[in-house]
Every structure is written in C-alpha cells, then in structure tokens.
Amino acid sequence: MTNNNLTNSSLIQLSQMLANKAISSVELTQTFLNRIDALNPAINAYIALDKDKTLAQAKAADVRIAAGNAEPLTGIPIAQKDIFCAKDWQTTCGSKMLANFIAPYDAHVITQFNAAGAVNLGKTNMDEFAMGSSNETSYFGGVKNPWDFDRVPGGSSGGSAAAVAARLCAAATGTDTGGSIRQPASLCGFTGLKPTYGVVSRYGMIAFASSLDQAGPMAKSAEDCALMMNVMAGFDERDSTSLNRVKEDYTRELAKPSSSQPLAGLKIGLPKEYFAQGLDDNVATVIEAAIAEYKKLGAEIVEISLPNTGLSIPVYYVLAPAEASSNLSRYDGVRYGHRAAEYTDLMDMYNKSRAEGFGAEVKRRILIGTYVLSAGYYDAYYLKAQQIRRLIAQDFVEAFKTCDVIMGPAAPSTAFKAGEKVDDPVAMYLQDIYTISTNLAGLPGMSVPAGFSHGLPVGLQIIGNYFDEARMLNVAHQYQQVTDWHTQMPELTMPKDIA
C-alpha cells in the first residue's frame, strides 16, 4: 500500500492493519510525521510537534497491540487542537499570552485518548482563544486551506481542519463554541461533530465561553467520528457541566443491516430560514442535491421553521464575549502567561501584559463582554440575550415534534480568501449564522461533505435532538455509503519518496 492510500484509510482500516501486523504504529506514525514535515511549512496546521514523545507513544502502542490489549484506536495517530492541555506539551491556545506555557496536566479528552492507546501527533493551530471563523487571529499565523492555499480553512479549529483535509493525521480533535468544528469541516471537506453540551468533559480545555464550548471529533467519515466519540465521551467529576450518563456505543446504529432505503421512516426537517437570503446559490444547489439523495434513501422531507434563527448572532455576541471577559481575566501576568518586560507598578504590569499578550479580536470581545456585564447594561443586554437564548432553544423543541433530524447548509458560502473579512467583524461573524443556534440550545450538530462548488467543498449540516448523536451518525453514514464526497482529498505536491 502506498503512503497516500495509507493516509487516506479509515480508522477501522488502520486499526485492522495494525491488528494484522500489516504495519506497526511506529511505521504509521512516521508516515504521518514525514507528511507533516513536507506539507506543514506551507499549510501551518501544527503549532507544536515533539517527535520523541509521539514515537514513544507509538512504540508503547505496538507493545500493547502485541500483548493483545489493543482497543480500536490503539496506535492511531491523532492531532490535538491546541486548546487542550497535554502534560509536558506546549499549550498555547493560539495566543502570545500562552506562547511559552507547558501544560502540567492532561485535559480529560487527552487522558481518554491516552487510555485508548492513541498517539498524539502534535498540537494544531487555532484562532486565538478559539475566537474567530477563519484561523487568521492565531499568534502563530494563519492556516492555509489545503484545497486552495489562498483561502482560509475556517475556524477556530482551522489547524485540525487543515490537518484532516491534507491527511496530516488520521483524525483530529476540535472544539465548537459557535460552529468551530462544523464550519471548518464544511470549508475543508470532512466530517465534524459537535456533541450535545456536557457529553464530552471540558476539564483541561482552555475556556472561551463556558456555557457554549464543547469538544468533538474531526475525521474523514461519520464512522470515524463514531469511533472517536466512543473515546472522547464520558462523565468527569472535575467538570461541573459534565453529564453523568450511561456509556454509549456511538457505532451501534452503523451496524444495522442496510437496504435500498435504510432511512425509511426518517423525517428530515428543512428550516425555511436556512434557505433564505445570504445563502450562496451554488451552496444551495449542492445542499438540495444532498437532500434529494436522502429522499432516495427513504427519508421524508418536512418543512419547518426556526423563527429566531436571525437573532442567534446578536445573542451569541453578547453572551460569548461576556463569558470570555470573565474567563480571560485570569491572564494578568502574575501567575502564568505573558508578562510585560517593563512596567512601573502592578496596574501598569496588568495593562501592558494584556495589551501585549492578547490579539485584536480577543481584545474586542473582552471589551464587549465587560461592557454588557457592567452596571446599567446587564439587564439591557446580557439578561435580554439569555431570555432570547431560551426562545431559540424552544424553536428546536417545537421543530423536533415534527421531524427526527434537521438539515441545511453548515456555512453560507465556500471557503473565502484570506484577508477578505478580517476588517469586517460582522461579515466574519455571519459565517456562523447556521451553526450558532445549536450551541445556544446545547444540541448536537455535524457537518458532512456533500459536494463541491467551483472546486471548493460544501458541507451539509445535520442537527439532532439532545443525546441523539448515534442516530445522526447513522444518518450521515448511510449517505456516505452511497456517495464518495468524504473520500475526496486535495491534490498536494509531495516529494516522491514520501508520496
């Protein structure tokens, strides 16, 4: 098998190859490391690499496989978004504020992957403190979209997105506060899932907006995401928002016998608000074609309404900055994080350290958040936004009375050019118009590759009811059984001895 075929294999295929001794974890890991060496300088997907640590994990995985103690992801190289603390790894959250921070402990997600025997390939680039939709706010520079280096990969999980799309990892982790898994999944052409809020622990995940942040898998297919969810999900008493639920097997629906109409009886809701003004015509055409495919699979289409969708952006950009203002107040130059080299007194140190350590977008959101939480404005902005948030959640409750899943575009357009929206924050914020409402409601959502527009990927969004990830994954899986969009990969020039 060529290296190109190897890096394009599914997680199950890689797991079987490792179990059958067709390849070792060290060999598989080195294949990805070689690919990273060749392509990462141009793509900038990774912030931190430590080959010694990575290969040590791969060697340990090979021992575990030889002893017969392997799990499905044992020996599989996974990229970790640099928002997760990983012991003895540089953990920056894409910010100068944490540029020299070495995490002293593992996030729960990292602990889960370590326990499963997975290999940490490295830490991926991201928008600073997860604030952005294009991965252009990173202190370490923007990430290139592997389909077109002049375009953005989406954000904030842009590094993980580019790594998955360019096959610089077998799969990756991301986080989704307002669409930061699903929007880059759409722009880069792979499958990304945001679980129900509380299903994956936030312990050790550097906070942006605590009531919205949720970790999830980013991989080539729904089947791969299901395998990753089996590792990532689980109760963690260290996270007060972690849900104590019976452990699920997220692959359980995938094993059901298929037929010519495997989704017969499934009702798909199409919100009229998702197909209104603002949606690119070519993206709409791709989404409509995907819906037509679902009809062939036996699904029934139901028109629904989510009337408060248009309010999700203003609500989000009151609530998320408010929580960010609180969460980022800990970075004061005293205990850890960037400290200014010269200052006159304590207040001057605070001011200079934060001015130097935070980027423009982070400062903008801190200022907005502090404003809406200030005396005299709390009731007018923050409290009102919380009330509308409840109405947005209620829209979904009503919608799910008539349908099983909701579908529509994951993003209003394909990947836009780098620099195109940097000076227009509102235009950037509108990139998340179709994804933010699920975070506000705490619902699960995912993006599935559905086709191309002018050579750029388009993602179909699938939204499920609370804790309905297994059904969503099967709905995506059945579509991927009859289409090959998820197997498409960008043409990237590789040295002959690596390709």
Instruction: Determine which one of 157, 180, 353, 437 is catalytic.
Output: 180
Q: How many CA atoms lie within 13 A of 496 on its CB side?
A: 0
Does 194 qualify as catalytic in the annotation?
A: no
CA dihedral 291, 228, 133, 141 (to 10 degrees): -140
Q: What is the DSSP string of 349-368?
A: HHHHHHHHHS-HHHHHHHHH
pTM above 0.85, yes or no: yes
Q: What is the largest CA-CA distance in the chain?
A: 74
CA angle in degrees (0–180, nearest 5) for 385-386-391? 90
Q: How many CA atoms lie within 13 A of 461 on its CB side?
A: 33
At 329 the three-state DSSP class reads helix
For the ranges 82-91, 138-147, 426-435, the lowest mean pLDDT is seen at: 426-435
Select from 414, 341, 480 the least CA-distant residue to 10: 480
Does 401 qualify as catalytic in the annotation?
A: no
The predicted-structure confidence for 45-64, as pLDDT tens digits, reads as follows: 999 999 999 999 999 999 99
CATH numbers and ranges of domains, the chain: 3-264+472-487 (3.90.1300.10)
Residue 207 has pLDDT above 60, yes or no: yes
Q: How far apart are CA 325 and CA 317, in angstroms?
A: 12
Question: How do beta strands 267-271 and 300-304 pair?
Answer: parallel
Instruction: Determine which one of 156, 221, 242, 413 is catalytic.
Output: 156
Instruction: Determine which one of 9, 25, 81, 157 is catalytic.
Output: 81
What's the gap between Cα 299 and its chain centre? Answer: 27
The predicted-structure confidence for 356-403, as pLDDT tens digits, reads as follows: 999 999 999 999 999 999 988 999 999 999 999 999 999 999 999 999
Q: How far apart are CA 364 and CA 159, in angstroms?
A: 23
Q: Give the burial string for 206-215 (b: 16+ CB within 10 Å, else e).
A: bbbbbbbbbb
**Phi-psi category of residue 312: left, alpha or beta, with phi > 0 → left and psi -120 to 50 → alpha:** alpha
Does 53 qualify as catalytic in the annotation?
A: no
